[in-house]
Structures are given as C-alpha cells and as structure tokens.
Amino acid sequence: MKVVYLDNNATTRIDPEVVEAMLPLLTHQFGNPSSAHGFGALAGAALRNARRQLQALIGAEFDDEITFTSGGTESDNAAILSALEVMPDRTEIVTSAVEHPAVLTLCAHLEETRRVKVHRIPVDRHGRLDVDAYRAALSPNVAIVSIMWANNETGTIFPVAKLAELAKEVGALFHTDAVQAVGKLPIDLKSTAIDMLSLSSHKLHGPKGVGALFVKRGVRFHSLIKGGHQESDRRAGTENTPGIVGLGTAAKLALKFMDDETRRIKRLRDRLENGLLQRVPNTFVNGDPLERLPNTANITFEPIQGNGILNLLDRDGIVCSSGSACTSGCAEPSHVLRAMKIPHGAVRFSFARDNDQEDVDRVLEVLPAIVEKLRDAPISGPDRRSTEDLQCVPGLIARRTGDHS
C-alpha cells in the first residue's frame, strides 16, 4: 500500500538533490572548516556557499547574519537566552500562548528559575493574536518578544513585521520562530525590523538536526554554547558540514519551487478542505480563514477527538497528525486548540511538494466513513470523551506528548 504522507509540518522527505549535495562532505570532503590547510578550506567554502543560499531564501542583507545551529529548538533557545544576557536590566519576555514548546517550555523554566516575567499573549478562536493585549504587554522592561511567524498546528500567520515595529518602540529585541514559514512563504528580512529568526532544515526537505538563527547585523548576541570560535563566536563546536550543505541546497530548491509549488499545494489543500466540508457534516476548519499557510489544513470533526481518526487513517496508509496534547487517545486538545477555545481535538493535514491530487482523493474516499463510524461508536469510547470528563494529569501529558512538531 502506498503511504499517503500528509504530515509535512512534522517533517519532510529529504530531497534526493539534497542527499547528492551532502554526499561528498560525508565521504571524501571531510575536512574541518576551521583548519588552516587547503583541505579544510574546501569544507569552509561549502559552508560559505550554504550560508549564501540561505541568505537568499530569507532575504537577509548579509551572509554573516546567519549562524548554523542544530535546529529550530536550539535557535529559539539561543535567541531568547542571548537577549536576557545582553539586556540584564530587562526581565520580561513577551510571547504568545500558541508557541512551540521550544519557546514555551524555556519561558516556563525561566519564570521558575530566573524570576523572569512572561507575558503569554492570547489568541482568538481563529488563532489570531490579540494585538491590543500585545501592545499592553510591551514596556521598557521587555528584553525580547518571541512570536512565531506561522503556527505549526493551524498554519495561522502572525503579522510579525508589524509586531516587530511595535517592539522596537520600547527598545525590545524581536525574535520570530519561522520554522513553519521558511520555504513556504516569501520572506525578505531586509525590509523588516525583525532582529532574530529561527529556522529548521527538516521542514523544507533538508536533513534533520540542522537549522539556523538569523541575527541582524548590529544586534548584540551571546552564544548559548561556549567553546571555540566557530560561527563568528556565535555557536561553538565544529559545524555539521554535511547537514549545513544539505540545508543550503534545500534552501536553493525551496526558492526555485516557491511560486509554482505554493499555488499548486494550496489548490490541493483547498480541494481537501472543501471536499471534507461538503461530505462530512459538523466539520470545521481551524485557523485564520485568510492569513494561513497554504499547505496546512486543521480540521475538527465534532465531537470526535483527533486521535481516533488518526489511528484509523493510519491503518489505511494515510499519515497525518492530531491536534491533541496526548498521543495515547485521551481527550485533551493541544495547548494551541485550547488557547483558541476549541473544545475538541482536530486532525492536521500538512502538504508539501511530494503530494498530488491522488493523495487528496484517497483521503476524501476514506475519511467520511471513518468519521461516521466513530460518531456511531458507544459514548464510552476514549474518542467521545469531552474535556470535562477527563482528569488530566499534567505530568502524564508531559510524558505522553510525543509530537509537538
């Protein structure tokens, strides 16, 4: 059975051209980019090329604004911790209630251990940021604002350029987790007030375990990882040269495919959403109806929780993701859906350039019957429990929550 992979916000298939570009660095071009000899210089040249490829994708003004890291999580941590170090007089962070745990877990930790005050800005039922609450939270005590460019579960896009300008008015640094936006939306950092941006290679058909942090020239930065002088003293440790070359190639391909593929993928996504809304009653699309990633569909089939659907789709070879906090089939919707006051879990379908119309039609063929079956199931089944029925144990959620991507 051919697997229909519709979980591209979790991770994407590595592009064969990316693998090909990485191979020399995994085999014969194994030099250390920091070595003084010519053999190491070859690896150094490959790094410079990758930096320029990434610079082009995000519209950075200078290639030295890009620091390679181990991925989105490290980039998010590095940005926030650096801001607190370079501005020790400022002890507040502004973020949103729907960030990835790479930001929210760090913020909770800082609140507990460093007496940092964290403002978690709420969202409305479409996942849109409460901009009035955002303005009210900004003050000269704020060291850094960290608001994602696009949400990984619903695809809702935040107006980060405007939010960055507001942050500047109080002298705060502005960081954005753009892990889900880079490669899917055109980005031109030159024209924005954004100081720092995180991205991750495996979300754009590159290898896992590599990413980057953009730090605008002139923004003071303290390295999270202390050691050697790699990455212009911004990230110690010998660079993951094969991974970085893979990321550079993935960036080049993302730029090449951006226009045509974005339009094609959006058509597939819309076909899926419209088809499901027509075929399955009491079905809702979550997220901002207008400002939304073109590849993401997050759908609630009332009153079913996402996990039940997910498991049955999986048996039919269709792979997607649920908007539930717990992967074990219990009823709690994710922190994102709860912030949007959506009482039921959801199913997230996320597309990429590997998908085609056949994939959509398979889902449209199989899913209506699955929903009907679950809706007819006895009320005691785990998929029919409401949030109120469930005594949720926070430690249990933390342990059971596997998929936060």
Q: Give me the active site residues, please.
A: 326
SS3 of 96, please? strand
Q: Spell out the residues 6+ positions from residue 379 whose beta carbon is closer than 8 angstroms to its own.
A: none
Q: Please report whether residue 332 would count as binding ligand FES according to CB under 6 A.
A: yes
Q: Spell out the residues 6+ positions from residue 169 whose beta carbon is closer than 8 angstroms to its own.
A: 138
- What string marks each residue from 135 to 164 as x (binds ligand PLP by CB under 6 A) or -? -------------x---x------------
Instruction: Looking at residues 176 to 195 of the shown chain, list those that interact with ligand FES (rule: CB under 6 A).
Output: none
CB of 98 to ligand FES, least distance (A): 17
136 Ramachandran zone, left/alpha/beta (phi>0; psi -120 to 50): alpha
Instruction: Take residue 310 and report the two structure tokens written for it.
Output: 């997910």
Q: Which is nearer to ligand PLP, 60 or 179 (CB)?
A: 179
One-character DSSP codes across 241-262: HHHHHHHHHHHHHHHHHHHHHH
List C-alpha distances in Å: 402 to 119, 127, 308, 336: 26, 22, 16, 15
Q: Choosing among ligand FES, ligand PLP, none, which partner's interface includes residue 274 (Cβ < 5 to 8 Å by kind)? A: none
Instruction: Looking at residues 342 to 401 of the shown chain, list those that interact with ligand FES (rule: CB under 6 A).
Output: 392-393, 396-397, 400
Answer for the pair 69, 230: CB distance below 8 angstroms, yes or no.
Answer: no
Q: Which of 12, 73, 230, 296 binds ligand PLP (CB under 6 A)?
A: 73
Q: Choosing among ligand PLP, ligand FES, none, which partner's interface includes residue 326 (Cβ < 5 to 8 Å by kind)? A: ligand FES
Answer for the pair 367, 151: CB distance below 8 angstroms, yes or no.
Answer: no
Residue nearest to ligand FES (CB): 326
Q: Across-strand partners of 173?
A: 144
Q: Which of 31, 127, 155, 211 binds ligand PLP (CB under 6 A)?
A: 211
Given the DSSP bridges, would you call strands 4-5 and 318-319 parallel, antiparallel or unpaired?
A: parallel
Q: Please report whether residue 23 would count as binding ligand FES according to CB under 6 A.
A: no
C-alpha 220/C-alpha 192 separation (Å) is 18
Q: Choosing among ligand FES, ligand PLP, none, which partner's interface includes residue 398 (Cβ < 5 to 8 Å by kind)? A: none
Per DSSP, helices labelled H in 316-403 are 335-339, 357-376, 394-400
Q: Which stretch binds ligand PLP (CB under 6 A): 90-98, 123-131, 176-184, 340-348?
A: 176-184
Count residues near ligand PLP (CB under 6 A). Answer: 13
Instruction: Looking at residues 120 to 139 of the shown chain, list those that interact with ligand FES (rule: CB under 6 A).
Output: none
Element (H or E) spanning 177, and its range? strand 173-177
Q: Choosing among ligand PLP, ligand FES, none, which partner's interface includes residue 148 (Cβ < 5 to 8 Å by kind)? A: ligand PLP
Q: Choosing among ligand FES, ligand PLP, none, which partner's interface includes residue 332 (Cβ < 5 to 8 Å by kind)? A: ligand FES
Q: Which residues bind ligand FES (CB under 6 A)?
A: 325-326, 328, 330, 332, 392-393, 396-397, 400
Contact residues for ligand PLP, defined by CB under 6 A = 71-73, 100, 102, 148, 152, 177, 179-180, 200, 211, 405
